[in-house]
């Protein structure tokens, strides 16, 4: 309907059609975003304006939830159409939760009813000649809350999921037969090797992650990196930088290229260890969480630490060892796994909690446990200032947030 190609309908009394040039630009931006969205997020988004045959249900779902709210912003002549679209995104986000409260279901019921009424006003326009603008799927939205009450989370029984599972089972069986018949298991392996994290480095002090090769052993690092590591350790031990310098040897730092959050987490890459590959999908931008003193600007108040989320590019992964040191209260050699990141300086966020930024801050070093997950990015233009900016795509949700023991 937005492209003027829906069952022969014109806009009637509305103004929802997008200029063809605008839609082409949105399609091109969708395709370009594939390079800055990690493979873990799904298939590379196709050009939705030029290549509709490549758009699956999964493609449209990802576009609806993450790309559409960014790329459609300020594109309609009347903002009411964009706001109406975002309301649908917010309601679908609730539908895709792992569990619901009665208040969630009530919000879906009243929210979708109001959305359908607004849809009829904007697109159907209460005209019998435009009855084709009201397909059965629009009416079906009114029954989603009933299904949630009767059968639980929709992801457990929606036909789309069942079809995907069925297709996966069939495809897996077909591949198994081909592997046996032609003895080509290794040649057509579609996933990572089954022998686990080959060559990985793990440490009992860091049970949530594993470091993966390539690996540079005991090499000297730059003065800048050494200073950042020293500051991080001084903060950790609550001591002066000079004290850390007595025990930290910047010529004996191990570097690793990848870190994986165990038990189903993301695999994140350090940009400084990557080789240039033309079709690589960027898996170096991450969400990391730190404790921030809410009273930092008022020195008269005692520190009050709160967990805060940040976004940035993972630059380096270090393994640092400190020898026994009485003034650091270390009775034996102690291993630290640290990460160097450049923070994305967030300037704004929208109603869907998507964060906008234009610049990245200086390098800082944090404990590797602060690094939570991969994020994607999509570039857009701030039409008020005609400046390029990035929007962070964070699919992790509240279930993946770090939990801090402030007393420890």
Question: Which tokens belong to 343?
Answer: 């923070």
pLDDT for res 405:
52
Residue with tokens 């010529």: 251
Mean pLDDT for 120-128 is 96
**Cα dihedral value 53, 58, 62, 63, nearest 10:** 20
Return the ∠ at Cα 143 (arms to 87 and 93), rounded to 5°: 35
pLDDT in tens, 224-245: 999 999 999 999 999 999 999 9
Torsion (CA) 174, 176, 182, 188 in degrees, nearest 10? 90
201 DSSP assignment: E
Q: Which of 73, 65, 124, 133 lies closest to 96 in space, CA to CA?
A: 65
> What tens digit of pLDDT does each residue of 7-56 get?
999 999 999 999 999 999 999 999 999 999 999 898 899 999 998 888 88
d(CA 142, CA 163): 23
C-alpha distances (whole Å) from 215 to each of 144, 258, 374 are 50, 9, 21
Could you give the 3-state DSSP secondary structure of residue 155? helix
45, 68, 87, 402 from 285: Cα distances, Å: 18, 21, 28, 17
pLDDT interval class at 258 (50, 70, 90): very high
Rounded Cα gap, residues 9 and 31, in angstroms:
28
Mean pLDDT of 146-154: 90
pLDDT of residue 294: 87
Residue 115: name the closest of 63, 80, 146 by CA: 80
Which is nearest to 320 in space by CA: 214, 225, 212, 408? 225
DSSP lists the bridge partners of residue 311 as: 287
Residue 389 to residue 400: CA distance in whole angstroms: 26
Indicate the pLDDT class of residue 401, thresholds 50, 70 and 90.
Answer: very low
Q: What mean pLDDT is reported for the chain?
A: 90
- pLDDT at 399 exceeding the cut of 60: no
Cis peptide before 214 (omega within 30 of 0): yes
Contact between 54 and 96 under an 8 Å Cβ cutoff? The reply is no
Share of the chain above pLDDT 70, in %: 94
Look at residues 16, 130, 23, 133 and name the one whose alpha carbon lies nearest to residue 81: 16
φ and ψ at 193, to 5 degrees? -55, 150
Task: Quote the tokens at residue 212.
Answer: 């993966």
218 alpha-carbon distance from chain centroid: 33
* Structure confidence by residue, pLDDT tens digits, 324-378: 999 999 999 999 999 999 999 999 999 998 999 999 999 999 999 999 999 999 9
Joined tokens for residue 62 = 């990802």
pLDDT digits (tens, 9 = 90+) for 261-286: 998 899 999 999 987 655 689 999 99
CB 320 within 8 A of CB 253: yes
Nearest Cα to Cα of residue 149 among 100, 91, 89: 100
Report the alpha-carbon distance of residue 263 to residue 257 in Å, rounded: 20
Collapsing DSSP to helix, strand or coil, 226 comes out as helix
């Amino acid at each position: 309907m937005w492209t003027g190609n829906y069952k022969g309908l014109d806009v009637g009394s509305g103004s929802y059609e997008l200029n063809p040039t605008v839609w082409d630009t949105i399609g091109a931006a969708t395709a370009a975003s594939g390079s800055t969205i990690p493979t873990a997020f799904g298939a590379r988004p196709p050009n939705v304006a030029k290549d509709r045959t490549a758009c699956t249900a999964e493609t449209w779902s990802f576009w609806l939830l993450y790309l559409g709210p960014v790329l459609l912003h300020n594109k309609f002549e009347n903002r009411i159409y964009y706001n109406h679209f975002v309301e649908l995104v917010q309601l679908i986000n609730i539908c895709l939760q792992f569990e619901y409260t009665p208040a969630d279901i009530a919000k879906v019921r009243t929210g979708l009813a109001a959305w359908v009424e607004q849809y009829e006003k904007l697109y159907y326009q209460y005209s019998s000649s435009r009855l084709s603008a009201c397909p059965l799927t629009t009416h079906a939205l009114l029954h989603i809350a009933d299904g949630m009450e009767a059968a639980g989370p929709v992801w457990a029984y929606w036909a789309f999921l069942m079809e995907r599972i069925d297709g996966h089972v069939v495809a897996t069986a077909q591949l198994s037969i081909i592997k046996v018949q032609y003895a080509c298991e290794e040649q057509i392996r579609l996933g990572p090797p089954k022998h686990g994290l080959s060559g990985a480095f793990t440490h009992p002090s860091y049970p949530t992650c594993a470091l993966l090769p390539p690996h540079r052993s005991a090499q000297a690092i730059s003065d800048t990196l050494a200073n950042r590591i020293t500051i991080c350790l001084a903060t950790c031990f609550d001591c002066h930088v000079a004290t850390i310098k007595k025990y930290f040897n910047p010529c004996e730092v191990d570097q690793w290229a990848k870190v994986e959050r165990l038990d189903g987490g993301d695999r994140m890459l350090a940009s400084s260890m990557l080789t240039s590959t033309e079709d690589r999908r960027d898996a170096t931008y991450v969400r990391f969480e730190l404790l921030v003193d809410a009273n930092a600007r008022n020195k008269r108040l005692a520190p009050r630490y709160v967990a805060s989320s940040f976004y940035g590019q993972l630059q380096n992964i270090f393994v640092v060892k400190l020898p026994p040191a009485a003034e650091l209260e270390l009775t034996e050699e102690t291993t630290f796994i640290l990460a160097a990141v450049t923070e994305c300086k967030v300037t704004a966020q929208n109603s869907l909690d998507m964060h906008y930024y234009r610049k990245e801050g200086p390098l800082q070093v944090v404990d590797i446990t602060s690094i939570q997950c991969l994020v994607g990015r999509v570039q857009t233009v701030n039409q008020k200032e005609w400046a390029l900016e990035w929007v962070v795509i964070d699919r992790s949700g509240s279930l993946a947030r770090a939990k801090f023991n402030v007393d420890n």
